[in-house]
Amino acid sequence: MASTLILASSSPYRRALLKQLHLPFQTASPHINEDAKPGEAAGALALRLAQEKSRALMRDNPQSLIIGSDQVAECRGQILGKPGNRDKAIAQLQACSGNKVTFHTGLSLLESASNRQVSTVETFTVYFRPLSLPQIEKYIELEEPYDCAGSFKVEGLGIALFEKLDGTDINTLIGLPLIRLVDLLGEFGIDPLKSTAKS
């Protein structure tokens, strides 16, 4: 591979997902303002942040292929951020109880040498069971999902919170839609099934 593959993220979840493709890559943290613009829709926000994350690393990595990804969750038209603490996580899960939550995951691939950027947004919807306060408190006590949009980890006990999942790629829910990423990598001549490199 001519270009260095860089994941523009400090997320351990995204790093673990990208390792599944067995491609050598580096990680770097992009420093951008992640606030939504007034009236900005969840999907548009996810796409813009994914693109900005990859662009933030472009100058320092002139011969690289940079992956940017960002996830925005919404419930009943309201954007759900990362709760950060127990009380906010409880409030989020109470709001989600018995409702559907749609996750918009922006994905962008930027070739810094040519300034070519391809981007997309993948969606994944989860349908929450009606949850009692004791159930919510028990879940938060066990998983402490304070750094997760929507206050849950689907790869753990979070699966018990749902009645149904609706989407193409479960990895979209975790934060990096690998099926679409493989498609985008193919546009730059990279096929994980043809690569002999080990990550």
Label residues 144-169 b or e (16+ Cβ within 10 Å = b): ebeebbbbbbbeeebeebbeeeebeb
Please enumerate in sequence order all residues whose Cβ is within 8 A of that of 173, keeping only pairs 6 or more positions apart, or say none: 103, 105, 124, 126, 154, 165, 167
C-beta neighbour count of 184 within 10 angstroms: 18
Q: Which residues are marked as active site?
A: 70
d(CA 171, CA 188): 22
Please enumerate in sequence order all residues whose Cβ is within 8 A of that of 136, keeping only pairs 6 or more positions apart, or say none: 90, 93, 94, 97
**Do the beta carbons of residue 180 and residue 107 sit within 8 Å?**
yes
